A and B are shown apart, each in its own frame.
Chain A
Amino acid sequence: MLAMNFRGARQIRLDRHKPEPEIKHPYDAIVRVTRSLICGSDLHLYHGRVPDTRVGMTFGHEFTGVVEAVGSGVQKLKVGDHVLVPFNVACGTCPHCKQELYGNCNESNPQATAVGGFFGYAHTGGGYDGGQAEYVRVPYADVSPTVIPKGMDLENAVLLTDVVPTGYQAAEQGGIQKGDTVVVFGAGPVGLMAARFAWFFGATRVIVIDHVDYRLEFARKFAFAEAYNFREMRDPVLFLKKATDYFGADVCIDAVGCDGTGSALQTITGKGLLLQAGDATALHWAINSVKKGGIVSIIGVYGPPWNLAPIGSLMNKGITLRANQASVKRLLPKLIDHIMSGRINPKEMITHRLPLEEVPDAYRMFSSKLDHIIKPLLIPPRANAA
């Protein structure tokens, strides 16, 4: 089958002869991919920032597909079902899954206890081949995969596998109250959704910070937010303090993660010398820009082992730090409703629709922010096969 094939940092091949996946466990399903997205999280892999990313792996954790086969223990899912597959691999019965922390399952990732199981996310994410391919093995098929509701646009459905719930959880973790001022760092798909959802929790001011002008422009329209370019500031923290009457924001959301930029010190120590796991500029700004007693929500991904962050200010300012991988299944019912009722139409973020065969270009375009890209969608040649 056709599949994306990782060859090392910033090198991606279209593999034309990857063996098709097989059922390996009674709870497995095999899914024929109909739509697949590239995520900001994939860029961390692409840039070689996630330890134990092995050559030959197929990435992709945001996909929809048609069930082609199921294992002997699968009861709910049926061959022919068209499903959206949440990015978390989750068993449904461990203490974490039982408490709806599906992003922190205890039985889906042997390689790392600090990380849940994710499709196509290195061995640090469990070693699963992902959905930037024609077929995928989907474990615990009865737990997370969800039949796409009748009448839902396929592009909205595939965005429900990660970006929409992730943006929602970013805002939810912020503990936003009516009247709050919320600052979102990062105007990528996740930050855009977080900004959009901040209003759902009652924010009265939403400020988005990035350095890519076309994304800031998009944030103004899509998320009704004030949007500012940090390259036009000498000190973004000072800007935000002044913009909030020298008080600080009530809630700061880091939707950037370890591929951030904006501070020479962070770039040199993180990306140059590897003394920390990438660049934590956004987190640094978030902690410094929030008010005393405020909340910082981290949804951007940072890698092990550590990052430079102003922990002293966390304590002195009495900041609450909340963070997690999104728990997609937990949020699906609410978010399906938000889409079906027309309150949100996330597919507006999909700017590029490319055949799976062009996956190397798609990565480079997304990484270098070419052609005003916001979210690239891949369509495998067999997407419409009967």
Chain B
Amino acid sequence: MQTVLEDKIDEFQDRKIADRNRDKRTKDIPGWGMDADPENDPTYPMKHWNGADHERLNYEKAPQQRIDIEVLHSVERPGVTRVFGNSSPPSGLSGAIRRYAYQYSEATATHWMTLILADRINAIEGKITDLAHGILPNPWIERGWRAEWKYNRPAFIQKAATTALLITAGFMVMKRKNKHKSV
């Protein structure tokens, strides 16, 4: 594969210019800082500007939380944050898809759409695990049908009836088609 600029960021061609400008030359650039205006800051008062941004990554950090589970991290940061959540590490097929997604930056549709796909597969995995543990689907409670029945009965019945009707109609159409085939 062709190496791209982001793979060799530490020695990129104009680093020298960047470093020289930062270290000593800015003040020689005509007009440098002349129109800087601390009031020109639409982030006020939400951001209490103190220049900390210019410290970049050299700030006081907490100790690193022990990475004792698999933690995927954005390629847009150098590593795992000092603290992270330990809920539901990636697993199964959805986990493999998530790992793939995390190879792409947050600027890409690949990253996010692949994660959405993984979420849908994960939900199916959840149902399979449930069945394996003898847990049957319980939409009455888990999908909140009980709440709809209690507070929104007419609309709920109508929706259920429409769905049932559509399913029955679908079955009948399929049956017909099959009949035609067998003749």
| Chain B interface category by residue count | 35 or more
Q: What distance in Å separates the Cβ of A125 from its nearest Cβ neighbour in chain B?
A: 8
Is A10 in the interface zone, CB < 8 Å from B? yes
Is A242 in the interface zone, CB < 8 Å from B? no
Is B123 in the interface zone, CB < 8 Å from A? yes
Are A99 and B50 in contact (CB-based, < 8 A)?
yes
* SS of A interface (majority): loop
Q: What distance in Å separates the Cβ of A330 from its nearest Cβ neighbour in chain B?
A: 8
Are A93 and B144 in contact (CB-based, < 8 A)?
no
Is A169 in the interface zone, CB < 8 Å from B? yes
Q: Provide the A175-217 mask, 1 if CB < 8 A to any CB of B, else 0.
A: 0000000000000000000000000000000000000000000
Chain B, Cβ-Cβ closest to A118? B85
Q: Provide the B88-99 mask, 1 if CB < 8 A to any CB of A, else 0.
A: 101000100010
Stretch at the interface among B2-10, B25-33, B52-60, B170-178: B52-60
Are A99 and B65 in contact (CB-based, < 8 A)?
no
Q: What distance in Å separates the Cβ of A171 from its nearest Cβ neighbour in chain B?
A: 12
Is B152 in the interface zone, CB < 8 Å from A? yes
Chain A, Cβ-Cβ closest to B44? A175
For B77, list chain A residues within 8 Å (CB).
110, 113
For B148, list chain A residues within 8 Å (CB).
364, 368, 370
CA distance A66 to B111 in the complex (A): 39
For A127, list chain B residues within 8 Å (CB).
71, 84-88
Q: What distance in Å separates the Cβ of B106 from its nearest Cβ neighbour in chain A?
A: 5
For A100, list chain B residues within 8 Å (CB).
46-48
Is A65 in the interface zone, CB < 8 Å from B? no
- Decide: A95 near B52, CB < 8 A? Known: A25-B62, A27-B83: yes
- Decide: A126 near B88, CB < 8 A? Known: A99-B53, A100-B48, A101-B47: no
Are A55 and B122 in contact (CB-based, < 8 A)?
yes
Q: Provide the A70-113 mask, 1 if CB < 8 A to any CB of B, else 0.
A: 00010000000000000001010111101111000011111111
For B48, list chain A residues within 8 Å (CB).
99-100, 330
Are A364 and B123 in contact (CB-based, < 8 A)?
no
| Chain A interface category by residue count | 35 or more
Q: What distance in Å separates the Cβ of A282 from its nearest Cβ neighbour in chain B?
A: 21
Are A107 and B81 in contact (CB-based, < 8 A)?
yes
For B85, list chain A residues within 8 Å (CB).
117, 123, 126-129
CA distance A117 to B123 in the complex (A): 24
CA distance A27 to B102 in the complex (A): 28
For A106, list chain B residues within 8 Å (CB).
81
**Apart from A54-B122, A99-B47, A274-B113, 13 more pairs, CB < 8 Å:** A8-B127, A11-B139, A54-B90, A57-B88, A91-B61, A91-B82, A99-B52, A107-B82, A110-B72, A110-B77, A128-B87, A139-B83, A305-B108
Supply 11 A–B pairs (Cβ within 8 Å), ascending by A: A7-B126, A13-B141, A25-B63, A25-B65, A55-B122, A73-B63, A94-B59, A98-B50, A123-B72, A305-B107, A361-B147
Binding site for A on B (CB under 8 A): 42, 45-50, 52-53, 55-56, 59-63, 65-66, 71-74, 76-77, 79-88, 90, 94, 98, 101-102, 106-109, 111-113, 115-116, 118-120, 122-127, 130, 139, 141-148, 150-152
